[in-house]
Structure 1
Amino acid sequence: MREECKQYESRSYANGETVRKCNLDLAPEAPWRCPENCSKFELRLVDVDWSHGSLIAPPVPPEPKGEAIAEVLDEAEDIVNAIGPQILAELEAEQKKANRPLGRLKRRFGRS
């Protein structure tokens, strides 16, 4: 990934996971690689002359070889697609519950 790009974002979580991504979702092989000659590349100007301390994101995991990148990304997509309908069903159930007359009263008076 081109870390000097304005669209690049990196987040580290308490469990040690780090997410590296393009905010415009133009890097299909993230977190390993941006497209060559990306038309949306903009040099990040905010931290041009900063010196970074020890809280920088950890190094990028090693890049899979050959077709392994596509396989890893396909597996991740399959996981997200598999759980999607369940998440939507849970959200719909919560919305129906909240829209009942008693649910609106509870919400209005701050009770669950």
Structure 2
Amino acid sequence: MPMRTECKNFESRSYPNGDTVRKCNIDLAPDAPWRCPENCSGYERRLADAAWTHGTLVVPPTPPEPAGLEDGSAAAVLDAAEEILNAIGDDVKAEVDAERAAAQTKPGMFSRLFRKKR
């Protein structure tokens, strides 16, 4: 079944460079952006725009499915990528926190110019 764009958990976002992200916000579509599971437990029809007519901000068409999607290999690749990102997430956060802490301890140009005189 193609991605259900009318589901309240479906999200599509386009970027200025032309890239578009199509995803399930509750991560129940292992073959996103191409397909939703046939009997998805998270499917809930979006009620706010059920009878609206959309203008130019309509969700772009679904990209063509790659070869080999039927055998589950796309979901396996996406799962492996997610595991890699989850594995390095704590290290990246620690690096960012360390950089922010170091930036706060260095006096800036304005703090030298406008420091309090004793």
Q: What's the TM-score once normalised by structure 1's chain length? A: 0.71
Rg larger in structure:
2
| 1:98 paired to 2:85 | no
Gaps of 5+ in 1: none
Change (3 A) 1:105 1:39: same
Q: Structure 1 residues 9, 94: CA separation in 2 closer, same or farther (over 3 Å shift)?
A: closer
Q: 2:47 aligns with which of 45, 60, 77?
A: 45
Change (3 A) 1:23 1:93: closer
Which ranges in structure 2 are unaligned for 5 or more consecutive residues?
A: 112-118
1:25 corresponding residue in structure 2: 27
Count of matched residue pairs: 107
Structure 2 Cα separation of the partners of residues 103 and 65 of structure 1? 50
CA offset digits 1:32-83 (Å, max 9, x no partner): 111111122111100011101122122111112334774445445555627x
Query: 52-61 or 73-82: which moved more?
Result: 73-82
Match of 1:61 among 52, 60, 63: 63
Supply the RMSD in Å over aligned alpha carbons. Answer: 3.2
Q: List 4+ stretches of structure 1 deviating above 6 A.
A: none
**For 1:104 and 1:29, how far apart are their aligned partners in 2?**
46
